Amino acid sequence: MADSIRLNLVRKDSKRIPYYNSARLSRFSLEDEPSNLDQMPLMMSEEGFENEESDYQTLPRARFSRRQRGLGWFLCGGWKVLCASCCDCLTHICRRKKELKARTVWLGCPEKCEEKYPKNTIKNQKYNIFTFVPGVLYQQFKFFLNLYFLVVACSQFVPALKIGYLYTYWAPLCFVLAVTVVREAVDEVRRYRRDKEMNSQLYSKLTVRGKIQVKSSDIQVGDLIIVEKDQRIPADMIFLRTSEKNGACFIRTDQLDGETDWKLKVAVACTQRLPAVGEELHNTCDLFSIKAYVYAQKPQLDIHSFEGNFTREDVDPQIHESLSIENTLWASTVVSSGTVIGVVIYTGKETRSVLNTSYAKNKVGLLDLELNRLTKGLFLAQVVLSVVMVALQGFMGPWYRNLFRFIVLFSYIIPISLRVNLDMGKSAYGWMITKDENIPGTVVRTSTIPEELGRVVYLLTDKTGTLTQNEMIFKRLHLGTVCYGTDTMDEIQSHIIQSYAQPTSQPSSGGGGGGTTPSCKTQSSAPKVRKSVSSRIHEAVKAIALCHNVTPVYECHGSVNGETESAEADQDFSDDNRTYQASSPDEVALVRWTESIGLTLVNRDLNSLQLKTPSGQILAFHILQIFPFTSENKRMGIIVREELTGDVTFYMKGADIAMASIVQYNDWLEEECGNMAREGLRTLVVAKKSLSEEQYQDFENRYSQAKLSIHDRTLKVAAVVESLERDMELLCLTGVEDQLQSDVRPTLELLRNAGIKIWMLTGDKLETATCIAKSSHLVSRNQDIHVFRPVSNRGEAHLELNAFRRKHDCALVISGDSLEVCLKYYEHEFVELACQCPAVVCCRCSPTQKAQIVRLLQQHTANRTCAIGDGGNDVSMIQAADCGIGIEGKEGKQASLAADFSITQFKHIGRLLMVHGRNSYKRSASLGQFVMHRGMIISAMQAVFSSIFYFASVPLYQGFLMVGYATIYTMFPVFSLVLDQDVKPEMALLYPELYKDLTKGRSLSFKTFFIWVLISVYQGGILMYGALLLFESEFVHVVAISFTALILTELLMVALTIRTWHYLMVVAELLSLGCYLASLAFLNAYFDLSFITTWPFVWKVSVITLVSCLPLYIIKYLKRKFSPPSYSKLSS
């Protein structure tokens, strides 16, 4: 019968009527001329423009399919496509997943399950005992740098290719791998322990013989599990029973959806009516005395919806109950009130929490990619240099062997310590960010991309909770003819007190306001009677106090023995002890406002609701139906029956765009919604409809049948509810303000002056988003705003883009629907025009659209993007951006946990980017290039040495000298560059224009790298030629003089690179020099101790060092004097 319910037409477009529809149509009719279509060179022909939309979509695909795939395509990347396709095919065959199906679950009978379901284990480990070593090694050697050094090190096992001692090649490589393996092993052990702890948690399971304790990992589909207060729910369950008298309980879902508010869950009525859980074991068997099952839909991703049925077979007639999201207890949530019993329907990897677990992509910084390109360039130079050496030999003998020996000799051009130094530097930057007292509470969750903070060009921000505080304050009540603000709330209070002044007679008159048992005829004529302002205020306030999902919560005092009676006896029901729980801060603000003017929500359970009047009288209402708010319908409703009068009233509130077509005709709603939105207020339209008993019973029958339907349940329920949503009486319009975060205006101005383009992506309405953009100074005072008119097809988009193209230096405001149409047909043109705007506001954006916009900017601009948000709907945007920042706010920690950096306030982003982003990028650029210079200078010396000695492939330095050079002799001074800074933090914040230079990437470019190459060649040549010219009789003197001069040169070059000295830098320089001088006594195999203690050794080393470094110091001085950088002008 349920499936035979007739589907009424569901309003879709009718409830989304744009306020400027008529203006839009008239504009397009006036401007729809052929000449206007050519004003912007769009990537389509006139012929294509006249085709149908479906034809237009096939044009690019047709052109793509006609491309020939020949040898050129294969060599230019086609082989990658083929390999990827083969790998995907093999992976699909090897990892073929079992198809998820709907299921029938018998209560307490897991053995009746028709299929085998996954174990209820949590597994977050990356590897097992067999895959750990291969997996870690693969992750390391997939990088070119590490693979290159592995090949070079392995070549030393071949006698013909052996250059020096094995440990000079294997020791650095093994050190890097050991650090990585140990780090991965520690992380893996931690993950294993966390998983084991979760899987070993004990739960009470009901059986025919009573309660037994089982581990979480041993729970099966069909088990009846008892979950106590503050205990984690181990698997997805249907809520059967609770110790709470009202048949409902609260759960916390912050670990599932990131929201901090409590959710109300309702037990299945059939099983809740059985004897209470608190009465010992013999009554727990009552669940086994009935024969019942649950039909559950197949496992799905959506945590906010569920469709199922509960059926009891051992009674006649059978009992059928529909199950929805309010009857579910998802895994990883926590019970906040009472004790619950549930039947398990999904376990392990089929639970909602595991299905929604997505592993974020591994983000790689732009600086790492640039260094990787330079590394490949160095490898090419190394091969070329080796070929030149072999060519100068005349390709004599086994030249290919000599070629490989030269490649190994010059392998220090690419330093293996580069990645180690950079990783250690990134950790140091993260520690500095965390310890910065000016941005307390900041957490670095991704330590590999701190340099990205210094390269941001586009900042994409959420509005609610990010730019605003997400703390709602009731500001405005509009009744159509009269409007009340914060300064006139006392008038409303006096009207409410007057309305409830006579407790005996007022409920009937109040009931008349709320619905005085009208028939259909009186209802239709009611709007014609002009009501007094007092009665209209009373009706509006009463509707606001009733139409919500808010629950008052009272704290318990004293110990609780698990009995509900004792808990209630210890509760304090005073106003001071009451707090409100709801899924929306807007609703809490409305209920708090009604409390402030005298109508207080004092109690609420599953079926009833109580209000306290200013005189202390309690008004009781029976809740008949609740229609929750969803992002699709943008409204919520409630049907209540007043116990005193028996009146049945349907109250509804929602967004103006959804309510405009539901309420009776009026001439003020559209205008006043626009006025409030321009003031930055969030508006809600409140309406009511009085129902006769016959009308309600008819509705209830149809509604119950629709909820029992298995197929198209959502559509059928929506059709039945919409039969009520007609010709409703408009009561009032409310305005709630979401206050700006502290220091939002100066922070946005700082970012704008730094050259960062800010895009605000919000789900709020266009008017409110525009107002917040103005009030927060996202759009500066002297900038125009271009509101992109709603478009629905390619022709309208074409015309509107032409109109937008004629505007210059103006901010853009566009809705999500119009954005989707523009991206469908004119993606490249729209992004190109939008990127020229100083600010962009996208309203009515879905989470997927936010992430799509981020990816569009990355693809079309190749600039670095940063996304910042505070709610679960911002996670996809944060993870898609090159740098994601989360704010711990009212909407929970989901965005904060998913982000790369977590901050507590929006204003902290200024210091995070201007100071820490600048320092991280500048320091890493200097550190990376200096480590490369350290390898290039010794390779240059090797090249000079080999060319002088008849191009022999003999190493200049061997053994410990090479290991010590890259470690204890130069490591500390080079790494001390992570403490360097070009300008003070105060200066960077005072002059944000300095940030613009960073986005151009001038600190690490082919130009700066080429300069370091020239310096390395010059210094390497001077050191080697100088030592060869000044050596006397023995070769060992050449090694002693050149190596000592090399160490001193490196220490002096570090000093030359430093811009601001830190005392630890001086310590590092002296420590390294001391280590070298002390080690001379133990290097008998390399140095002649009798020679290095003589005066000739000292002056020869001094002369060579002076010639290699002094010119560079002179050049630096002249450059600073005649062409100083911008920051040095400010510093002086």
The set of catalytic residues is: 462
Distance, CA of 303 to CA of 328 (rounded, Å): 10
Positive or negative: CA dihedral 533, 539, 543, 544: positive
**What are φ and ψ of residue 681, in 5° steps?**
-95, 145
Distance, CA of 918 to CA of 980 (rounded, Å): 11
Instruction: Please say whether the beta carbons of 765 and 670 come within 8 A.
Output: no
SS3 690: strand
Distance, CA of 595 to CA of 1120 (rounded, Å): 68
Instruction: Please say whether the beta carbons of 1036 and 956 come within 8 A.
Output: no
Distance, CA of 447 to CA of 426 (rounded, Å): 6
Q: How many Cβ atoms from other residues are within 10 Å of residue 218's Cβ?
A: 17
Beta strands in 827-920, from DSSP E residues, in sequence order: 839-843, 864-869, 883-887, 901-903
Beta strands in 428-494, from DSSP E residues, in sequence order: 443-444, 456-461, 468-478, 483-484
Distance, CA of 367 to CA of 371 (rounded, Å): 6
Which residue, chain included where needed, has tokens 């029958």?
701
**Residue 212 C-alpha from the chain's centroid:** 41
Distance, CA of 939 to CA of 927 (rounded, Å): 19
Distance, CA of 1055 to CA of 1110 (rounded, Å): 12
Instruction: Please say whether the beta carbons of 1101 and 1041 come within 8 A.
Output: yes
Distance, CA of 423 to CA of 190 (rounded, Å): 21
Which residue, chain included where needed, has tokens 């093994």?
174
Buried b (16+ CB within 10 A) or exposed e, 158-177: eeebebbbeebbbbbbeebb
Distance, CA of 271 to CA of 593 (rounded, Å): 38
Contacts of 436 (CB under 8 A, 6+ apart): 442, 911, 915, 916
Positive or negative: CA dihedral 237, 242, 244, 245: positive
Query: Contacts for 142-146 with beta carbons within 8 Å, 24 or more apart?
Result: 143/372, 143/419, 144/372, 144/375, 144/376, 144/379, 145/372, 145/375, 145/414, 145/416, 145/418, 145/419, 146/173, 146/176, 146/416, 146/419
| CA nearest to 420, candidates 961, 971, 841, 956 | 971
Query: Encoding tokens for residue 871?
Result: 């709610």
Which residue, chain included where needed, has tokens 């330093």?
415
| Kind plus residue range of the DSSP H or E element containing 334 | strand 334-335
Strands 224-227 and 340-346: antiparallel
Distance, CA of 957 to CA of 1046 (rounded, Å): 12
Sheet holding 248-252, edge to edge: 262-266, 248-252, 334-335
Instruction: Please say whether the beta carbons of 466 and 884 come within 8 A.
Output: no
Distance, CA of 940 to CA of 955 (rounded, Å): 12
| Residue 996 CB-density burial (10 A; 0-12 exposed, 13-18 middle, 19+ buried) | middle
